């Protein structure tokens, strides 16, 4: 006669093993994502031509914008859309930079219909300049394949840095000359 617990009553070692496995996978994913963010911050993002493609377009208020007319000072180009969840996270960093540096033009290029961008921006004033997307601008920066994409153009019209995806807080402060 067997005393104690039967084999059916003994606790299974599997739940503990599964928990340890899932915990180690979660730690690996978090560390990998952090490493990716650090590397992409140091390296930059999408490969754009050395010379920034020139463009002429209008702001959402109808004022003309010409990139060549902004030569002599650095310019930040921020490609975004109201439907983009990562843009909603990144826009406050871009707007904060624009408010801290009013001498640096920050052109927020809406990659959607102007009416949708206007409706989205109507809720809160922004320090950046919202620009209406047009076909020529989208073609000039055809390497912008994901949103948001941020591009820094120096005072001589050269692309010095770019990033696809979210920006770290104050990252533009460190990048803009």
Q: From first to last of the 177 residues of the chain, give the pLDDT tens digit.
A: 455 555 556 566 667 778 788 888 888 888 887 776 666 655 555 556 678 888 888 999 999 999 999 999 999 999 999 999 999 999 999 999 999 999 999 999 999 999 999 999 998 888 999 998 766 776 777 667 788 989 999 999 998 888 888 888 888 999 897
CATH 3.40.50.300 fits domain 45-175: no
Query: What pLDDT digit, counting tens, does each position of 88-136 carry?
Result: 999 999 999 999 999 999 999 999 999 999 999 998 888 999 998 766 7
Task: State how far the Cα of 80 lies from the Cα of 12, in Å rounded to an integer.
Answer: 51
State pTM to two decimals.
0.74
Please report the pLDDT score of residue 38 as a whole number: 66
Instruction: Tell me what pLDDT residue 64 has.
Output: 94
Strands 149-153 and 159-164 come out as antiparallel
Residue keyed to tokens 């990659």: 111
Torsion of CA 25, 31, 32, 34, to 10 degrees: 150
Domain ranges of the chain: 8-43, 45-175
pLDDT at 132: 86
Q: Phi and psi at residue 44, in whole multiples of 5°?
A: 100, -170
Please work out, in degrees rounded to the nearest 5, the angle formed at the alpha carbon of residue 169 by the alpha carbons of 39 and 68: 85
């Amino acid at each position: 006669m067997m005393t104690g617990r039967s084999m059916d009553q003994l606790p299974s070692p599997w739940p503990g093993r599964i928990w340890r496995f899932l915990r180690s996978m979660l730690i690996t994913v978090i560390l990998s994502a952090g490493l990716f963010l650090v590397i992409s911050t140091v390296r930059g993002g999408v490969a754009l031509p050395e010379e920034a493609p020139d463009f002429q377009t209008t702001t959402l208020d109808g004022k003309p914008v010409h990139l060549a007319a902004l030569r002599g000072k650095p310019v930040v180009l921020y490609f975004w859309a109201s439907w983009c969840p990562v843009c909603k996270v990144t826009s406050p960093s871009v707007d904060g930079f624009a408010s801290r540096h009013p001498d640096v033009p920050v052109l927020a290029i809406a990659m959607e219909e102007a009416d949708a961008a206007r409706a989205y921006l109507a809720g809160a004033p922004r320090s950046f300049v919202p620009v209406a997307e047009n076909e020529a601008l989208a073609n000039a920066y055809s390497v912008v394949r994901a949103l948001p994409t941020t591009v820094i153009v120096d005072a001589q019209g050269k692309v010095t840095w770019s990033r696809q995806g979210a920006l770290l807080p104050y990252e533009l402060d460190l990048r803009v000359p």
